[in-house]
Structure 1
Amino acid sequence: MSEAAGRLRVLADPGVAVSIARFHLRPLRRLAQAAGSAGLALDVTEVAPCGSTVHVRPPRLTDAPAWRRARLRNREAIEPFWVSTGRGWGSQHTDRAWAEHWLTARWGARLGTLLSVVIEVDGRFAGQCELRVEEHDRRGEAGIWVDAGLAEPGTALVAGRLVLAHAFGPLGLVRVAAPVSVQNERAARFAARLGFVREGTMAGYLTVGGQRRDHDLWATTVDSWRL
């Protein structure tokens, strides 16, 4: 039997035809879901123990200047542990870069795959938190950064707890993980204070700061969160 004839024989199977049709229609189905869904969103305020007001909200297109200033100001603390892109730090923080990030956040929110929020402290842009969601498995992976100049005692913890409360509450997740570079001691301490537990080390997990580095896997579950 020739290759063409063999291919036609396989395609003639109704089950195969349906599977192929579903595969090619998946992007259209996602578009329809995005158009008809409010998506993932979080907009909540809480007062930290230090007295500062912490506001967690969706990103806005107009956040670009404040985001750029904060990221450039905190470069030494962020860049060594940030996923490498091959571009300079300045070129990663243009208005266009923020617009792309904003669009990705909106799209991910509508698809139910990404919860992206801006952290404000007393009305000032102070950082970001992202939660990538695997809805079918009810789990997520989180990442956070906070401007050192606005990270008053407890403000980052308040922001992190607000996101986790939303993840284990309205979103219905049962597990949230966070990869932390083994060199990032500050982030490890933060994860532990937030209730995450170190589960092990993932060799060469990500390229950060221009180098392939090991990352510790930190995680917490809904049952631990409720204790």
Structure 2
Amino acid sequence: MGPLTTGAGIVVLRPIKLRDAPSWSRLRRDDEDYLRPWEPSGEGGWLSRHGPTSWFSVYGNLRSAAHKGLMMPFAIELNGQFCGQITVGNIVRGQLSSGWIGYWVAREVSGRGVATAALALGVDHAFSAGKLHRLEATVRPANLASQSVLRNVGFREEGLLRRYLHVDGDWRDHKLVALLADEFPDSAVARLVRSGRATW
């Protein structure tokens, strides 16, 4: 999906691939101190959970959930290079028709509009091809950069989830933000382009 052009370059989303293992592992391991404060805790140490062979399990779980219609996992590319991930997960159909959206980008591309462009692309895919009605995201109150990304794409704050997720060694509060498919007259990408933060 895409491309969208930001100050950093051309941003696209594409399906995750098995061959993403070296890039995924390098970025996750190099950026431990940048990513760990915001991500749910896992078993074992960060380095052991993000070695090149760990990707095969992550990839398999994501693809299996995708085949069941429960997730939409994508790689984020900047100028043709893997630089992060975005996932629509916990997809529920029927009367709820909702899911959550989460993302991460490498430290080297943060603050350059890449996450914002990727999020807009992911939102539009979830609402158009995914036919969802509602998307939610959660973010720690201290994560000002991610809150800015979410606001720039149009997410609204709906409340505070107390001690919601175990992150970085403790149960942490998270803000709940959400977006409905009918809140834009056209698309999240079009809104981003009108704001001047990206171009087609």
Q: TM-score range by the shorter chain?
A: 0.7 to 0.9
1:156 corresponds in structure 2 to: 115
Alignment deviations for residues 78-102 of structure 1 (CA, whole Å, 9 cap, x no partner): 1011111131110111233210111
- Give the match for residue 156 of structure 2: 197
Given candidates 48, 58, 62, the residue that maps to 1:101 is: 58
Q: Distance in 2 between matches of 1:178 and 1:184?
A: 13
1: distance between equivalents of 2:3 and 2:98?
A: 25
> Cα offset for 1:115?
0.5
Greater share of residues in helix: 1
Contact (CA 8 Å) 1:196, 1:219: kept in 2 or not? yes
Deviates more, 1:200-209 or 1:182-191: 182-191
2:109 and 2:138 mapped to 1: Cα distance? 24
2:146 counterpart residue number: 187
Letter in structure 2 aligned against 1:45: G
Q: What TM-score, normalized by structure 1, do the two folds share?
A: 0.77
Give the letter for the 1:135 counterpart.
R
What stretches of structure 1 of length at least 5 have no aligned partner? 1-43
Counting only pairs closer than 5 Å after superposition, residues 13-162 of structure 1 correspond to structure 2 as: 44-50=1-7, 52-132=9-89, 133-136=91-94, 137-151=96-110, 153-162=112-121
Partner of 1:20: none
* Greater Rg over alpha carbons, structure: 1
- Provide the residue aligned with 1:217 in structure 2: 176
| Alpha-carbon distance in structure 1 between the residues aligned to 2:185 and 2:136 | 16
> Identity of aligned pairs, percent?
30
**TM-superposition CA deviations, 1:60-113 (whole Å, max 9, x none):** 111111001111222122101111113111011123321011111111111100
Comparing both chains, which one has the higher relative contact order based on Cα–Cα distances under 8 Å and sequence gaps of 6 or more?
2
Query: Equivalent residue of 1:84, what SS?
Result: coil
**How many residues align structurally?**
184
The CA deviation at 1:156 is 1.7
- Report the TM-score when normalising by structure 2: 0.87
4+ residue segments displaced more than 4 Å = none
5+ residue gaps, structure 2, are 187-200
Asked if residue 165 in structure 1 is aligned to residue 85 in structure 2, the reply is no
